[in-house]
């Protein structure tokens, strides 16, 4: 499988200028090609092929208006055309139902939050013996290596985010050598807001609420930005401060997702989760908390890590009544409001923890062998035997009538 590794770059002032020039050239080539195809569509002409766009690019580099395109590597310009083809392919596949629907390709702006260029093997980029990243017409860029790459990367994408940080993103191929030893543990996971994750074995993982904890600092930075004059340098500095504050929240959330997903994959052979309707929940009054939890990113990490380390991953349907079915007897007890965290099964009398019971039902729906003992919150109350309550007259032990009093199998 293919994996992507990202590392922080620290370019010099001259290298930042060269990268800005590369970002701008790639953006102009993308917009020019998109404009050619849109004009052809408006005129009723056929779809302009990639070969024709490549010829137009070569010709435009020889004109005085686009001569500055030759100041950057030609590979990133061709890759910009490939990105446009990918955007059109995804759009058409969405219309055909082959993938989720996406919008039509749009023009890029220099004010976009993310700027990127991609270098393939044809660009002759490489990692120097000193550990720097050598990029054509940019130079040797210092890299903060946090880990070693499992294999030789095929491409590298240089990304600049809204906070002004630079990253090198490598695509590498991995084999089955990283498969973990098998274990017998299997769990179901119920994702929520009160607790980020509740496991079928009774473990509850608290929700860090990174965005909620940083709201005061974010509000202050946003308030300072709103007071700056538009177009001024101070406004640009304030905008970067806001972007960096949001980046710290996103980084902390991503790190939490990685640590939890890796631990669950290492400790369990099979994992089952529920397919949540995140888009629908994001339109409710819980929208901020739903986005702060980041369920989709966490489930995606579980899925690809399970495939990488030889684990089994199950995703059950979102319409499975996990919170309505008793995990002990299997009787459906009906829907319950969110404020009901403990409920008693009307059939077997078991008092169940709502979240643990749902996690057990998620595992059972996926066909995993889990025990329902963790779902029980406390023992259900039962009437005491008459011989154990109050004061009473002693009765003959031989009486068959009193031998049958009581509730068996408590």
Q: What distance in Å separates the CA atoms of residue 283 and residue 278, rounded to the nearest whole number? A: 9
384 DSSP assignment: P
Q: Which residue is catalytic, options 32, 190, 201, 292?
A: 190
Helix (H), strand (E) counts: the chain: 11, 16
CB 236 within 8 A of CB 162: no
Helix 50-60 to helix 74-96 angle, to the nearest 10 degrees?
150
3-state secondary structure at position 170:
strand
**Bridge partner list, 143:** 9
Using DSSP bridges, classify how beta strands 270-274 and 186-191 pair: parallel, antiparallel or unpaired: parallel
Secondary element (H or E) of residue 316? strand 312-316
DSSP 191: E
- Is residue 274 part of the annotated active site? The answer reads yes
Nearest Cα to 137, choosing from 4, 6, 7, 23? Answer: 23
DSSP string spanning 339-358?
T--EEE-TTT--EEEHHHHH
- Nearest CA to 375 among 206, 203, 202, 194? 202
Cβ atoms of 275 and 315 within 8 Å: the answer is: yes
Which of 32, 201, 274, 353 is flagged as catalytic? 274
Spatial distance between the Cα atoms of 116 and 157, rounded to a whole number of angstroms: 7
Would you please indicate which residues are annotated as catalytic (active-site) residues?
Answer: 190, 274, 355
């Amino acid at each position: 499988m293919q994996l992507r590794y990202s590392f922080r770059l620290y370019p010099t002032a001259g290298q930042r200028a060269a990268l800005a020039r590369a970002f701008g050239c790639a953006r102009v080539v993308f917009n020019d090609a998109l404009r050619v195809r849109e004009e052809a569509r408006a005129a009723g002409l056929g779809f302009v092929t990639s070969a024709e766009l490549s010829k137009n690019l070569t010709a435009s580099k020889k004109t005085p208006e686009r001569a500055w395109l030759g100041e950057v590597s030609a590979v990133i310009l061709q890759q910009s055309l490939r990105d446009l083809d990918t955007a059109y392919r995804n759009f058409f596949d969405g219309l055909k139902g082959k993938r989720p629907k996406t919008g039509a390709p749009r023009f890029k702006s220099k004010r976009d939050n993310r700027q990127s260029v991609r270098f393939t093997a044809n660009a002759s980029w490489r990692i120097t013996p000193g550990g720097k990243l050598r990029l054509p017409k940019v130079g040797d860029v210092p890299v903060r290596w946090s880990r070693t790459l499992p294999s030789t990367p095929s491409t590298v994408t240089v990304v600049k985010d809204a906070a002004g940080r630079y990253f090198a993103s490598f695509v590498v191929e991995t084999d089955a050598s990283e498969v973990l030893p098998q274990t017998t543990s299997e769990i179901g996971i119920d994702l929520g807001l009160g607790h980020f994750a509740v496991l079928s074995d009774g473990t509850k993982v608290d929700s860090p609420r990174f965005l909620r904890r940083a709201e005061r600092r974010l509000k202050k930075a946003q308030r300072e930005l709103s007071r700056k004059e538009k177009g001024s340098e101070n406004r640009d500095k304030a905008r970067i401060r806001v972007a960096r504050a949001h980046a710290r929240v996103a980084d902390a959330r991503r790190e939490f997702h990685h640590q939890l997903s890796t631990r669950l994959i290492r400790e369990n052979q099979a994992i089952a989760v529920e397919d949540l309707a995140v888009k629908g929940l994001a339109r409710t009054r819980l929208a901020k908390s739903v986005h702060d939890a980041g369920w989709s990113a966490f489930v995606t990490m579980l899925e690809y890590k399970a495939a990488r380390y030889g684990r089994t991953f199950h995703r059950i349907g979102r319409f499975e009544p996990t919170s309505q079915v008793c995990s002990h007897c299997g009787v459906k007890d009906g829907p319950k409001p969110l404020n009901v965290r403990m409920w008693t099964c009307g059939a077997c009398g078991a008092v169940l923890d709502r979240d643990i019971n749902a996690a057990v039902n998620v595992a059972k729906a996926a066909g995993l062998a889990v025990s329902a003992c963790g779902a029980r919150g406390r023992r259900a109350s039962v009437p005491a035997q008459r011989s154990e309550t109050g004061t009473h007259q002693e009765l003959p032990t031989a009486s068959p009538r009193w031998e049958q009093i009581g509730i068996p199998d408590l």
